[in-house]
Amino acid sequence: MDSHILKGDMDAELRQYLDEMKSDIKAHTTAQIEASDARIMQRVEGLIEASDARIMQRVEGLIEASDARIMQRVEGRIDASEERMKQHVSAECEKVETKLLTEFHKWGRTADMRTRQTMEANSIMNDRLMNAEDRITTLERNRIPPPTSEAA
């Protein structure tokens, strides 16, 4: 019986030892897992921060490049628009100049015609006036002088 008691005591001691070991291993494993978890989380946070920084830098670079391309296109379009406006204004100015010259030419022709008509009318009036003056002069020469009071 002694061996049986001994065996029962040993089993109990062995169970107790194994339970303590199990507890120690569990505590040790939990501590190692928590430490590993902390290191992993720290490493992951560092990688996320580095990744965020690289992503933000890349995004900022893409935005700047996009802004530059957009500004270049806008400036090109503004230049093209300005050139079209200049051409349009030039064409419109040419149309206005042509219309003005045409109207001045028309006015000049009618003014010349009126001037010629006026000159012809003046010439006719001058001829008539000269004829009238000649007749008056002839009448005055042919007129009998009025009697003078000395001859009476």
Cα–Cα dist 30/40, whole Å: 15
Q: Tell me the per-residue pLDDT of 42-88, one tens digit each, with 9 for 90 and over.
A: 999 998 999 999 999 999 999 999 999 999 999 999 999 999 999 99
HEC readout, 51-117: HHHHHHHHHHHHHHHHHHHHHHHHHHHHHHHHHHHHHHHHHHHHHHHHHHHHHHHHHHHHHHHHHHH
The pLDDT of residue 99 is 93
pLDDT tier, 3 (very low <50, low <70, confident <90, very high otherwise): low
Size of the chain, expressed as the number of residues it contains: 152
Q: Which amino acid, one-letter code, is at 59?
A: V
**pLDDT, the chain, mean:** 87
**Domain segments of the chain as ranges:** 1-104
The pLDDT of residue 18 is 87
Q: Tell me the per-residue pLDDT of 7-34, one tens digit each, with 9 for 90 and over.
A: 667 788 888 888 898 899 999 999 999 9
